Amino acid sequence: MTNNRHEELGLSNDDVLHMYETMLMARRLDERMWLLNRAGKIPFVISCQGQEAAQVGAAYALDKDKDYIAPYYRDMGVVLHFGMTPKELMLSAFAKAEDPNSGGRQMPGHFGQKKNRILTGSSPVTTQLPHAVGVALAAKIKKKDFITFVTLGEGSSNQGDFHEGANFAGVHKLPTIIMVENNKYAISVPIEKQLACEHVSDRAIGYGMPGVTVDGTDPLEVYKVMKEAADRARSGEGPSLVETICYRLTAHSSDDDHRAYRSDEDLKAEREKDPIPRFAAYLKETGVLDEESEKALEDKVKKIVNEATDYAEAAPYAKPEDALKYVYAEKGGDE
Ligand SMILES: Cc1ncc(C[n+]2csc(CCOP(=O)(O)OP(=O)(O)O)c2C)c(N)n1
Ligand SMILES: [Mg+2]
């Protein structure tokens, strides 16, 4: 075997295959959602495409049975690893009653699922950061062993909530990890119009925490720095800021057309950095995957995506009167 980096990190062949399967599942679900959107069947898609390696590599370094996560809208890879199923993600895309995130109330990408400790998020970007820091404060006060993980885009790191949350986490040495998925665009605004410093991670020093920038197309690199950050948080040493350099392989959302502000060459160059074929190539080099097992995995994922699509499409919508639920106290109900 050549250059077997995963074993050096303490990951087995099964671990890396599982990582790859989750990345592939996120990609194929996302691609299906675009087709459904263009066919007029679902209202909106906001993609994880190009960011799956950062998401799955990071999630793998956490304890999915204990830790709390506050993901942002592109984090399909993170929530899949934490136990949200493809069927549940499709129910959300179709805005059906059985959608575990909000029963079809919120837009897709607004993840939230109590049983998997996924904090519910709202549309104003970065509001999830103070939430995750608050839950980390609870862990510290209650002397619990869990840590919290929050993600956001680099554009969102310019919101005031980022400063307030990161500063509070740093001052109180809270067990939290802040991961910025830097895809170099905030809708149509390029990175050079977003940041005056070179890296988002340069800001960490101001909050008294370590900051690192890693290649977000490589799940093993992300796993490595995230594992260090998780160990730090769990041992009481405080928060960390991790910046993953990613590529947004789609337009900002299904309502955007990035050809209006990006060149063909630029888009083509980013395709070359697609994390899915890159990780498949690594797995083949190390003898973990071959043509046959790759095909079997593709078939398995496709079957699950097909079943999830059919189930969600046929599932009922919420009743109109359900729109009033959780807004007003119900007569005779819990207050
Ligand atoms: C407070 C707030 N301002 C503006 C928006 C509109 N908005 C939604 S996503 C987005 C871009 C965010 O860019 P970035 O943080 O880089 O994340 P990316 O979409 O690139 O992953 C904006 C401006 C919003 N949702 N909330
Ligand atoms: Mg961005």
Taking the C-alpha atoms of residue 164 and residue 4, their distance in angstroms, rounded to an integer, is: 41
Q: How many other C-beta atoms can be found within 10 angstroms of the C-beta atom of residue 16? A: 25
Question: Is the distance from the beta carbon of residue 185 to the nearest atom of ligand 1 less than 6 Å?
Answer: yes
**Phi, psi torsion values for 317, nearest 5 degrees:** -75, 165
Q: Which atom of ligand 1 is nearest to the CA of 182?
A: 16
Q: How far is the CA of 300 from the centre of ligand 2 (A)?
A: 31
185-186 and 189-190: which strand pairing?
Answer: antiparallel
**Nearest partner of 301 among 18, 6, 14, 12, judged by Cα:** 18
The reply to whether 117 belongs to the active site is no
Question: Is the distance from the beta carbon of residue 293 to the nearest atom of ligand 1 less than 6 Å?
Answer: no
Question: Is the distance from the beta carbon of residue 187 to the nearest atom of ligand 1 less than 6 Å?
Answer: yes
Task: Name, in order, each residue with C-beta under 8 angstroms of 130's C-beta and a sequence gap of 6 or more.
Answer: 161, 164, 165, 168
Question: Is the distance from the beta carbon of residue 156 to the nearest atom of ligand 1 less than 6 Å?
Answer: yes
Q: How far is the CA of 186 from the centre of ligand 2 (A)?
A: 4
333 by Cβ neighbours in 10 Å (0-12 / 13-18 / 19+) ranks as exposed
**Nearest partner of 56 among 176, 221, 294, 183, judged by Cα:** 221
Query: Residue 63's pLDDT is what?
Result: 98
The reply to whether 172 belongs to the active site is no
| Beta bridge mates, 178 | 150, 241
pLDDT along the chain (335 residues), means of 10: 85 98 98 98 98 98 98 98 98 98 93 97 96 98 97 98 98 98 98 96 98 98 98 97 98 97 96 97 98 98 98 96 84 63
Q: Which atom of ligand 1 is nearest to the CA of 127?
A: 1
Query: Residue 150's pLDDT is what?
Result: 98
Question: Is the distance from the beta carbon of residue 250 to the nearest atom of ligand 1 less than 6 Å?
Answer: no
Query: Residue 1's pLDDT is what?
Result: 46
Best residue among 125, 159, 164, 193 to mutate for probing ligand 1's pocket (most ligand atoms within 8 Å of CB) is 125
Question: Is the distance from the beta carbon of residue 155 to the nearest atom of ligand 1 less than 6 Å?
Answer: yes
Q: Ligand 1 atom 18: the closest Cα is on which residue?
A: 153
Tokens of 23: 């990345």
Question: Is the distance from the beta carbon of residue 109 to the nearest atom of ligand 1 less than 6 Å?
Answer: no
**Nearest partner of 174 among 231, 238, 240, judged by Cα:** 238
Whether the model clears a pTM of 0.75, i.e. scores above it, the answer is yes
Best residue among 162, 178, 182, 187 to mutate for probing ligand 1's pocket (most ligand atoms within 8 Å of CB) is 187
Q: Ligand 1 atom 11: the closest Cα is on which residue?
A: 186
Best residue among 78, 107, 156, 193 to mutate for probing ligand 1's pocket (most ligand atoms within 8 Å of CB) is 156
Tell me what percent of the chain is helix, strand and coil, each rounded to the nearest 5. 50, 10, 40
Question: Is the distance from the beta carbon of residue 154 to the nearest atom of ligand 1 less than 6 Å?
Answer: yes
